[in-house]
Structure 1
Amino acid sequence: MITISQAVETTVLKKPFLAEAVSEGIINLSALARQIQPDVEKMLHKEVNFQAIVVALNRMAPVFEISFSRKLEKMSKDIGEIVLRSNLADFTFLNSAALVKKQMKLWGKVSKRDDVFYTVSRGVFETTFVVSNSLSDILLNIFEEETLISHLENLSSVTIKLPPDNGKQPGLYYSLLKKIAWNGVSIIEVVSTTNEFSIIIDEKNVGAVFQALTT
């Protein structure tokens, strides 16, 4: 027969970020106990005093800490090399009927150049290009008749090579972004492919980001 402690552990571990908050002591256990009480009672098929749930949470905190720490440690070991590119600029244009054709024209000028950085993200209403500074004049010339929404310079990208099964690891992106946020760094853009994750930041924050990701 399942115990209250087992029911509490199962309920909390279904939400890994909740387990982390419990392990770090940054969540009110009484409030949490009241929140998960219906789930615990459903598992046990009986009413449970919320104080008993609080006691179980207190006892399980070290277990949650070990579990979450091991998962983060495994994620960190699986992350590959970190690649830095500097001297970048960010351009965001309003989407238009002609934008795709002009994007193809720009691609024709950069596709054979290995010395430049080029990414494009198309949203519902706007499209963003992050390119090497050396491409800025070319880009602005091609898109001169388009509506420029935003233009930022003095940027850098930090690209992280992810493990092949990264899509099956809950919390991977959270663990990376949390470290960066806790170091007080604002992220300007996020760009990803299946096995790569790039963040675009102000170049003055490169040191802080590297420290966050490697410690």
Structure 2
Amino acid sequence: MKTIASCVQEIILSSPFLEEGLSRQIINFSALAKDLNKPISEMLRKPIKDGAIMMALRRHQQPLNLENSVRLKKIFKNLGDITVRSNLSDFTFKNSKTLINSHLQILESISANHQIFYAFTRGMFESNIIISTSEKESILKAFEYETQIGLQNKLSAISIYLPKGNSKIVGLYYQIFKRLAWEKITLYEVVSTTNEFTIVVEDDLVDKAFSVIMRLKG
């Protein structure tokens, strides 16, 4: 059976910006209660008083427990090097039986140059290659017989080195994505390994995104 408290929780959990505002204590409970009155009344199919909603808002607890919150803060405080790479291009190709052969050609051509940024992701139906724009012609030549779905230039990557054990922390990536979304930063791509996390954004957003990541370290 739905209650006012369960409706409040459902709305907050489905609204990252609202949850962030409440956690920062920058939202007026009285004003929010009035704003939520109509949707909650519709969910419960009966009129609800603003005061009851406001009480539920005050009693709402964040989904992360105290222990995990402390671990999150420790992880962010101990973030490793944060590096930025610019002048990147993102290619998307339709998967095929010969795609891997084209991929091998690129790996052979860049294997001796450690200055080249390169990331390859294979999905069910398409594959992405993020690479330094200086290698654009090499990509087009190696993949000339493949079906190209997309191409985006003028991209930058921000790589974050995470402390060991990060995979055991609940909400780690959520906190990063939430902060970026709060600042209206659109992510073009996301690439991750066990202890490294990379976001790719358009060049005009890289400075803003870098500032957000740095603030995570406290």
**With CA pairs under 8 Å and 6+ residues apart, which has the higher RCO, 1 or 2?**
2
Residue 118 of structure 1 pairs with residue 118 of structure 2: yes
2:160 paired residue number: 160
- State whether residues 22 and 64 of structure 1, in contact with CA within 8 Å, keep that contact through their aligned partners in structure 2: no
Q: Counterpart of 2:121 in structure 1: which amino acid?
A: S
Residue 203 of structure 1 pairs with residue 218 of structure 2: no
- Quote the sequence identity (%): 36
Mapping of residues 172-183 of structure 1, within 5 Å: 172-183=172-183
Other structure's SS at 2:88 match: strand
Partners of 2:64 and 2:21 in 1: how far apart?
A: 9
- State whether residues 92 and 127 of structure 1, in contact with CA within 8 Å, keep that contact through their aligned partners in structure 2: yes
When the two chains are superposed, the root-mean-square deviation of aligned CA atoms in Å is 3.3
1:137 paired residue number: 137
The structural deviation recorded for 1:94 is 0.3
Closer, same or farther in 2 for the Cα pair 1:162/1:22, shift >3 Å?
same
Q: Counterpart of 2:137 in structure 1: which amino acid?
A: D
Closer, same or farther in 2 for the Cα pair 1:21/1:75, shift >3 Å?
farther
Closer, same or farther in 2 for the Cα pair 1:81/1:55, shift >3 Å?
same
Partners of 1:167 and 1:129 in 2: how far apart?
A: 25
Where does the alignment leave 5 or more consecutive residues of structure 2 unmatched? 1-5, 7-12, 44-50
Q: Counterpart of 2:206 in structure 1: which amino acid?
A: V
The structural deviation recorded for 1:162 is 0.8
Q: Counterpart of 1:146 in structure 2: which amino acid?
A: E
Other structure's SS at 2:127 match: strand
Closer, same or farther in 2 for the Cα pair 1:59/1:195, shift >3 Å?
same
Q: Counterpart of 2:125 in structure 1: which amino acid?
A: F
- State whether residues 72 and 169 of structure 2, in contact with CA within 8 Å, keep that contact through their aligned partners in structure 1: no
Q: Counterpart of 2:84 in structure 1: which amino acid?
A: L
Mapping of residues 95-110 of structure 1, within 5 Å: 95-110=95-110
The structural deviation recorded for 1:211 is 1.3
Mapping of residues 1-215 of structure 1, within 5 Å: 23=23, 24=25, 58=58, 67=66, 70-215=70-215
Q: Counterpart of 1:152 in structure 2: which amino acid?
A: Q
- State whether residues 75 and 162 of structure 2, in contact with CA within 8 Å, keep that contact through their aligned partners in structure 1: no
Partners of 1:144 and 1:19 in 2: how far apart?
A: 47
Q: Deviations over 1:130-168 (max 9, x none)?
A: 000111100100101111100000000000001110110
- State whether residues 20 and 64 of structure 1, in contact with CA within 8 Å, keep that contact through their aligned partners in structure 2: no
The structural deviation recorded for 1:75 is 2.7
Partners of 2:210 and 2:88 in 1: how far apart?
A: 18
User: What's the TM-score, normalizing by structure 1?
Assistant: 0.72
User: What's the TM-score, normalizing by structure 2?
Assistant: 0.72
